[in-house]
Amino acid sequence: MSIWFNGIRPHFRTIDGLSIRFAQSEQRDDHALLLSPWPESLFAFEPTWERLAEHTHLVAIDLPGFGHSQRRNELLSPQAMGEFVIHLADVFGLESPHVIGPNVGTGASLFAAALYPGRFRSLIVGGGPAAFPLRLGGVLKDWVEAPDLDGYRRADPREIVAGVMTDIQRYALLDFVREDYLSSYQGDRFVESMRYVRSYPDQLRALCKRLPTIHTPVQIIAGARDPMVPAVNAEFLDQRLPTSKLNILDAGHFTWEDAADEYAALATSWWQGGYATTTSAPAR
């Protein structure tokens, strides 16, 4: 059964041999590619969708292995996913789009911008690890550092995802959105998606070296009370990216839902000219 709400109507499209779920808003002159966070889906943009779509054509994607998109293990690392993000922009015909890449989309977006200079007009990232050496907390630290995945393979993935969702404290998830998140990671989908975050030790080491080369304007939005990805990760990015702006909100990990009004206001202000007036920082 196809579910949709608030203008978000998901469809599936075969891209590079994978079934990819996406949703898009009304066509407009400007474009934005929205990358679903983990362990959620493209419905994470439900509370901000209408406002973001007022002046911008949105294409929201469940990245391979996340949400309800088909997995390919070779894509489950930030750099490989960054290459796929470029492919997505090409397939959907998005010329010089903005990108919103919260959570797992942060590393993928930054790698894409580093590997393909000028392909994106701007990035909005945050809520995803960036600091090296790693600065993680809560269950994310446990997931990344676990010696093996045997215990997670035996666990009920719905209970794991439901437990993570308790950090959404201000925003009341719609029932069907919660169910969409839970069903996204049934069976082995959650434990297999962990491959992505378990690549962080090597991937963030490599990304750290590339940050000073990224001249795409970057808006960083983080939660001051994020238990999994402490704000030091956002500060780390802001200190190393040549052209960036940092906003730390009074929220936990899921800023795009818990602080939806502030998040949407920052994003739309950024798209309406903020990105163009953000100046390069002096050498750091």
User: What does each of the 284 residues of the chain score in pLDDT, given as a tens digit?
Assistant: 345 556 799 999 999 999 999 999 999 999 999 999 999 999 999 999 999 999 999 999 999 999 999 999 999 999 999 999 999 999 999 999 999 999 999 999 999 999 999 999 999 999 999 999 999 999 999 999 999 999 999 999 999 999 999 999 899 999 999 999 999 999 999 999 999 999 999 999 999 999 999 999 999 999 999 999 999 999 999 999 999 999 999 999 999 999 999 999 999 999 999 999 886 654 44
Tell me the chain's radius of gyration from C-alpha atoms: 17
d(CA 35, CA 60): 6
Let me know: does 271 contact 284? Beta carbons within 8 Å.
no
Determine the angle formed by the axes of helices 138-145 and 189-198, rounding to 10 degrees. Answer: 90
The alpha carbon dihedral of 135, 137, 140, 143 has a sign of: positive
| Dihedral pair phi/psi, residue 99, rounded to 5° | -130, 135
CA 179 to chain centroid? 20
The dihedral of CA 183, 188, 194, 196: what is its sign? negative
Spatial distance between the Cα atoms of 98 and 131, rounded to a whole number of angstroms: 23
**Model pLDDT, residue 156:** 97
The owner of tokens 């998606």 is: 193
pTM value is 0.95
Rounded CA-CA distance 191/167 in Å is 20
Name the strand (E) or helix (H) holding 49. helix 46-52
DSSP letter, residue 53: T
Cβ(7)–Cβ(141) below 8 Å: no
The encoded tokens of residue 255 equal: 């800023």
CA distance 88 to 98: 13
Token readout for 279 is 């100046």
Cβ–Cβ under 8 Å, residues 196 and 81 = yes
Q: Is 196 helix (H, G, I), strand (E, B) or coil?
A: helix
The whole-angstrom separation of Cα 16 and Cα 84 is 9
Q: Which two tokens stand for residue 103?
A: 């959570």
State residue 5's pLDDT score.
Answer: 57
